[in-house]
Every structure is written in C-alpha cells, then in structure tokens.
Amino acid sequence: MTPPPTALASARTRIPEAPPDTRPAPAEAPLPDSGPQPTAPPPVAPPPAAGRPAAGPVVILVGILLVALNLRAAITSLGALLDEVRTGLALSGAVAGFVTTLPALAFALFGSLTPRLVRRYSAARVLVAAMLALAAGQLLRVATDSTVVFLVTSALALGGIAVANILLPMLVRQYFPHRVGLVTGAYSMTMTVGATVAAAAAVPVGHALGSWRAGLAVWALLAAVAVLPWVPAALRAHAAARRPSATPVASVPLRIRPGRTRLGWAMGLYFGTQALGAYALMGWLAQLFRDAGYTAGDAGLLLAAVTAVGVPIALLMPTLAGRMRTLHPLILVLSAAMLLAYLGLAVAPYRGALVWAVLLAVGQSAFPMLLATIGLRARTTEGTVALSAFAQSVGYLIAALGPLLVGVLYDVTGGWVAPIGFLLVALVVQTAAGMVIARPRFIEDER
C-alpha cells in the first residue's frame, strides 16, 4: 500500500542515502520520525432521541401502534351511535351536524399548537398528556346530560387525538430513521383497523352493556393502555430536563415556518383535498349506492369494502414511497384511480360498484403515502413536527368542507352528478399540489 504523500516526503528527507529503488515501509509500520499517528475518537453512543430508544425499539413500536389504534376509534364509535346520542341528549339536527364536523375543526385548532408544546416539553411527555386527555374526554362526555358539556369534553378527547396525529410522524422519524416507510405503514394500517373495529363494535357493545354511554366509554380504556409504554420515556425526559447541564446551550432551537414555504402549502393542500374526498365518501358513499339500487345492508358492505381493501395497501404504500427517488409516478397513479372511480360512480354506480370501491381504496392510500412523505421532506425532527402540524391543520380545515358541500349539492340537485363534479375539482387541486411535493426537497431549505 502506498503511504500518504506527506509521509513519503518526510521519509525521503530523513534518509537521503537510501537507493532510489528502496520501497517505503509497509502501511502497518509507521515511518520513523513521521510524528504521532492520528487516532480515531472513541465512539459515542447516541442519545435515545437520536434513534436508539433506551426503552428498546420494540416497546417504542408497540407504543406507536397503540396510539395509532386510538386515533379514529373515538370518532367512528360516535358515528355508529349518533342516533342514540341524539335521542339521549336531545340534540337538534344542527348540533348533530356540528358534532360530525367537530373532529376536523379540533384537529386543525389543536394540531397547530403542537409544535409549541414540543419546543417546551419532550415529545414523550406531550404524547402521554394527549392520551390522558383522550381517555378523560371519552369518559367525561358520557357522564353528562348537558349538550354543552358533551361538546366540550368531546373537544378535549379530539384535542388529544389532534396532538398525537402530529407527533406520530415525528416519533417515527426520531426513533426509526431507517424504517420510516415500514413503521408508517404499520401505524397507518393499525389506525384503519382501529377505526373499523370501533365502528363495527360500538353498537353491539352498547347493546350488551345496556346503553350508548357504555358503547362510547369503553374506548377510554384503550387510550389509557396506550399511555403505558410512554410513561418511562416521559419520566426519563422529565428527569433529564431537571438535571443541570454541564455545558451551556450555545444555539437557539431551529424555528421552521412551513406557512412561508411553497412546500408547506403544497403539503397542506394535498392533505386537505385528499381528506376532503375521503370524508365526503365516508359520509355519503353508502347513500350513493342505495340511490343506485342497492339495499342498505349491501351499500354498507360496499363502503366496508373500501376500508378492507385499503388496509394492506396502507401497510405497503409508505414503504413504496420511501424507496422511490421521485413520487411523480405514484401520485399520478393514485389520482388516476380516484378519477376512474369518480367517473364510474357517476356513470354506472350499480353495475361496477365493486370495481369503483376497489379503485377508491387504491386512490385513498394517498393518506398513508403522505404521512411517510412528511418525514421524507424534513431533515430534522423540528422540521418534521412543524411540517406535520401545518399540513394537518390546514388540511383538516379544508376537509371539514367536504361532507357539508357534498350534502348541500346533493340536496339542491337531487342527484350525484354535481357532488361528484365537486370532488373531481378537488382531485385536480390535489394532483397539482402532489406534483410539488413529489420532487425531493426539504422544508428546512425553504426557510
């Protein structure tokens, strides 16, 4: 092996009498008088926040999946028991409609506050507080006969979900930096399973336990269980925060403002328009199939088919997105699936119902893809949480309009051509925003 040029020059200066063909000493033996050899610094183990959790990756992964299991259960269980709740609390039609819009509004409001909380407290402590708020809100809202208290405590529960919605992409990026797609897919699939199980089980559980209150309250136990894996991490973070630092902090934490960037607004528009379509279909697809000639039971099964087909796709989509250099082809395929499904629902809703349901499931996998993309478009955990909060806050405000406007257009026109036309316009905006987020870029570079 040839030594470095500087060492060779030193050797020739020190031993001028060496014949020209004398070979230098092998690399294993340092040349005489060449000075002390550099030594590599001892490896320093990264802190748990850098991706090696002290509690162990399995515990953290279980904690993430348990949180994900809760992120839709409180919403879909209420939807399944909404008639019983309306009767039990004597809710007017307007208030019942507000209840269905409350999740999107709460997600937008409380989600926007999450970056401030994370700058002041550790993510684990914030997540524990969010899950406790979810559990308390679900218990308190079934212990009252007051409409106002029911709405306030529901907002408390939804606030916990909103904060957890923002934190999960950051936690995945923080603890599993080399498995972002896989872990995002796992928790996206778990979230879908939790929503489906809660919707299907809320009514039977309520009947078995004797009231709609029990059918809603039982999900608070699931939220309480989700707290347990995060308590040790929260306690360690609290102890570390109280421990005096050996060296003063010389830098100010990076502030990311996605609202001042093109990427941030593109993320918000993509999130909002895809969620608008998903919420509208969740609320009205069964009615569309019933109007096409299906029975109520068959229409419900077709709606369930969209969710069922979407479960395995939700697992695979983030991994696929993480392996692609650019997301342009993937975003175009998802938009094409939604386009064909919308056109099919408008032209032949009865004959091709199953095909349109499968295409909708494929198109709606834009949601798990976007969750993975949030982590892929930030270099730091600060950038991830800021981008996640902005995209979801803007997105849920847009999504809240979906069911409302589709319902208005359906009532005014008496058919589905105008509502589907509105969803097609939203799809065009979604695709245009998707072209912006498809190119590899980072939110920190657009400050």
Cα–Cα dist 361/10, whole Å: 70
Q: Are residues 286 and 335 in the same domain?
A: yes
Give domain status of residue 442, yes or no: yes
Q: Are residues 209 and 338 in the same domain?
A: no
**Which whole number is the average pLDDT over 407-420?**
92
Q: Are residues 210 and 269 in the same domain?
A: no
Cα–Cα dist 322/406, whole Å: 34
Per-residue DSSP letter, 115: H
183: confidence class by pLDDT, cuts 50, 70, 90 = very high
Q: Are residues 73 and 205 in the same domain?
A: yes
Query: What integer pLDDT is reported at residue 55 of this predicted model?
Result: 54
One-letter amino acid of 230: W
Interacting residues of 66 by C-beta distance below 8 A, sequence separation 6+:
222, 225, 226, 229
pLDDT one-digit tens code per residue, 118-137: 888 999 999 999 999 999 99
Query: What integer pLDDT is reported at residue 301 of this predicted model?
Result: 84
Give domain status of residue 373, yes or no: yes
| DSSP three-state, residue 235 | helix
Q: Are residues 233 and 329 in the same domain?
A: no
Q: Are residues 141 and 280 in the same domain?
A: no
One-letter amino acid of 369: M
Cα–Cα dist 66/171, whole Å: 13
Cα–Cα dist 241/233, whole Å: 12
Quote the percentage of the chain above a pLDDT of 70.
Answer: 85
CA angle 419, 424, 427 (to 5 degrees): 130
Give domain status of residue 299, yes or no: yes
Domain endpoint, select from 209, 237, 265: 237
pLDDT one-digit tens code per residue, 241-270: 777 654 444 444 567 889 999 999 999 999
Give the structural domain span for 417: 257-447
Q: Are residues 276 and 406 in the same domain?
A: yes
Domain endpoint, select from 186, 207, 237: 237
Exposure class string for 184-199: b at 16+ Cβ within 10 A, else e: bbbbbbbbbbbbbbbb
pLDDT one-digit tens code per residue, 63-101: 999 999 999 899 888 888 888 898 999 988 778 878 878
Per-residue DSSP letter, 55: T
Give domain status of residue 34, yes or no: no
237: confidence class by pLDDT, cuts 50, 70, 90 = confident
What's the Cα-to-Cα distance from 129 to each of 104, 117, 120, 125, 345, rounded to whole Å? Answer: 20, 11, 13, 6, 43
Domain count, the chain: 2
Give domain status of residue 242, yes or no: no
| DSSP three-state, residue 268 | helix
Q: Which two tokens stand for residue 294?
A: 């299906």
Q: Are residues 87 and 169 in the same domain?
A: yes
Q: Which spans in 293-377 are helix H?
A: 296-323, 328-347, 353-363, 366-376
- Please check whether residue 171 is in contact with residue 300, taking contact to mean a CB–CB distance below 8 angstroms: no
